[in-house]
Structure 1
Amino acid sequence: LQNRIVHDRTQGTCVLTPETALSYGYTGPNLRSTGVSFDLRKDSPYYNYEAFDFYVPVGSQGDIYDRMMVRFEEIFESIKIVRQAMKMIPEGPVFVDDHRVALPPKDQVYNKIEGLANHFKLIFEGVKTPAGEWYDSYEAANGELGFHFVSDGSGTPYKLKVRPPCFYAMGGFHEMIEGEMIADAVINLGSINIIGGELDR
């Protein structure tokens, strides 16, 4: 990243302002590259993230270079989090030992009729959840990944809507490339890290 050509091609190129990013629903590194410090792990902690010591990398220009640098810095912060988490993991099993919600071990499925029946029942009927509505999200690599579930009390969701970060990032893509060279549009597509499967609606 200390290459002059990289700097020339990425700094000040395909700039995204904080206002534009927020108006399109950007989250994650793409939003943070504009100077907005928002990270669900810090702003709305879940899964014990409040116990970890890490900082949220934030850019200032909202250009391709800042999007790359925020992602690179997040790699090192992720390594810090993993090292801290490894010290906190207690001894013992890491799965739920409840036949109503967890698949039985493979040796039970292959050698005992009860294990096979429980496996079959969970796979085909699912885990029965209480009727109601629920939304939860977490900080994925590209931003907020959210799930809105509606349950009718059966083992399959009545309704499920996913909020993928790349769907919103692609929505504002045209704003970043307007007036830029075609070659810069290609580099910019890489800098926002689009996952094609999230765009399929």
Structure 2
Amino acid sequence: QNSALIYYYHDSKAALYRHVLERVIGTIADGARRRIAPGSDPERVVRGVVESQVAVLAGNPHLPVLLARELIDWKAAHAEPAIRHLSATLFQELTKAIADGQATGEFRPDIDPTFAAISTIAQVGYLVLASPIAGILLGRGLDGPTDGDIQAFGQHAADFALAALRRPAVPATRASNRLEETTT
């Protein structure tokens, strides 16, 4: 209730704003750490990151608006330390998991792991950032997607990312067709 408390705990309103952004953005990494055990396989890491995004964004409905304003008005200047920390921790872990999946043959080798990680996190981010658009597309109106929609989309986003990352299965008919062609 007392604005003097802002200056007691923070240097300025801008510092308070930055600390709020850091705290909320940091919860994405914290949530992912709880979902991803050390030594988890690449698929679990992808799912854990997306699940963490969904939990934080669904649990903080004003966060997308706050982040959109930060990006538009300030080009992420106040959020830069938190974004850099997230990039150096969770984003690098996701990128490494994708590269590890490529090294083991689980994921396609022709995809850039960094771009794949950006694509993975962008799906849920876009849904909540463009909430009014998503709401219209889902038939929910300008209020946007429901928490249930966000949860379902999170599952879809993880499945979609993993489907794009996985090596395509080689159909058995290809090999048998080649065999028939060489014998005729």
Q: Give me the TM-score of the superposition, normalised by structure 2.
A: 0.28
Please identify which structure carries the higher helix content: 2
Q: Which has the higher strand share?
A: 1
